[in-house]
């Protein structure tokens, strides 16, 4: 664990751990910028599932920059501490910050960090946190640790729709490095899924891959026209 100082006897005091210091600073910085009126509209946009502080993305990132000033690069244990502490906080901006923080530092995480990411994906779940975790954090972990593709195979057929969405979307930015067999396999496997967010993910993932290989996506859509939802087909074919 990284530390910011050493207590007598050589041990880093708990209140100087990167995660503890950072989340405390964030709480102060976010509170200073709280906008209760804006918070009402932001919560309504998310179907009132989470309380908000009322920080726009620009304000949240500006306040976070202040909180991060002078802190060392985190170790993997710090990433977990920060993420879980942010997930425990009221104020959706804390969870959104954690997604940004993990995205920035995903290269310091080992393969076991996928378990922490799964915990985040399946807790306080909604697209605003699941999507960056899927397309940036899980994406980075699988790139760095290819053996984790086996976990994506498991997630692609699990009962949890957010893990399914993550498996489908994790290659969103892989471009030419996309494992098309897996992408098409996941989409075909979940073609009849009832949930909007899975159907939307199928369309989004296929539409993005069409930028790299439009003919392959056209062929997939033609082959699976009878099983894919109209939503998935419409999203996938937007630029074909």
> What pLDDT was estimated at residue 19?
86
> What pLDDT was estimated at residue 32?
96
> What pLDDT was estimated at residue 198?
98
Block residue for tokens 């980075």: 140
Say which residues have a Cβ less than 8 Å from residue 234's Cβ, sequence separation at least 6: 203
> What pLDDT was estimated at residue 3?
36
> What pLDDT was estimated at residue 7?
31
Tell me the sheet residues that pair with 17: 3
Largest CA distance in the chain: 69
What are the distances in angstroms from CA 44 to CA 96, 112, 145? 17, 36, 39
pLDDT in tens, the chain (240 residues): 333 433 322 333 444 688 889 999 999 999 999 999 999 999 999 999 999 999 999 999 999 999 999 999 999 999 999 999 999 999 999 999 999 999 999 999 999 999 999 999 999 999 999 999 999 999 999 999 999 999 999 999 999 999 999 999 999 999 999 999 999 999 999 999 999 999 999 999 999 999 999 999 999 999 999 999 999 999 999 999
Domains and CATH numbers, the chain: 1-108 (1.25.10.90), 125-240 (1.25.10.90)
pTM of the model: 0.92
The pair of structure tokens assigned to 40 is 């009402």
> What pLDDT was estimated at residue 16?
65
Q: What's the gap between Cα 106 and its chain centre?
A: 11
Helices within the chain (DSSP H only): 18-32, 36-45, 57-68, 76-88, 92-105, 113-121, 127-132, 139-144, 149-155, 161-169, 180-189, 196-210, 214-223, 230-236
The pair of structure tokens assigned to 140 is 């980075």
> What pLDDT was estimated at residue 5?
36
């Amino acid at each position: 664990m990284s530390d910011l100082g050493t207590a007598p006897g050589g041990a880093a005091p708990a209140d100087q751990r990167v995660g503890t210091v950072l989340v405390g600073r964030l709480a102060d910085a976010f509170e200073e910028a709280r906008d209760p009126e804006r918070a009402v509209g932001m919560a309504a946009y998310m179907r009132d599932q989470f309380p908000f502080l009322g920080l726009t993305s620009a304000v949240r990132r500006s306040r976070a920059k202040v909180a991060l000033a002078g802190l060392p690069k985190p170790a993997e244990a710090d990433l977990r501490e920060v993420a879980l502490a942010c997930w425990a906080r009221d104020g959706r901006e804390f969870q959104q910050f954690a997604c940004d923080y993990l995205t920035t530092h995903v290269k310091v995480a080992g393969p076991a960090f996928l378990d922490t990411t799964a915990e985040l994906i399946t807790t306080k779940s909604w697209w605003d946190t699941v999507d960056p975790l899927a397309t940036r954090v899980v994406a980075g972990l699988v790139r760095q640790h290819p053996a984790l593709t086996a976990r994506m195979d498991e997630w692609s057929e699990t009962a949890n729709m957010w893990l399914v969405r993550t498996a489908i979307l994790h290659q969103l930015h892989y471009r030419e490095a996309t494992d098309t067999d897996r992408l098409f396999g996941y989409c075909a496997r979940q073609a009849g899924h009832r949930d909007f967010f899975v159907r939307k993910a199928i369309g989004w993932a296929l539409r993005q891959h069409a930028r790299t290989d439009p003919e392959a996506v056209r062929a997939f859509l033609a082959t699976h026209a009878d099983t894919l939802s109209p939503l998935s087909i419409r999203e996938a074919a937007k630029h074909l």
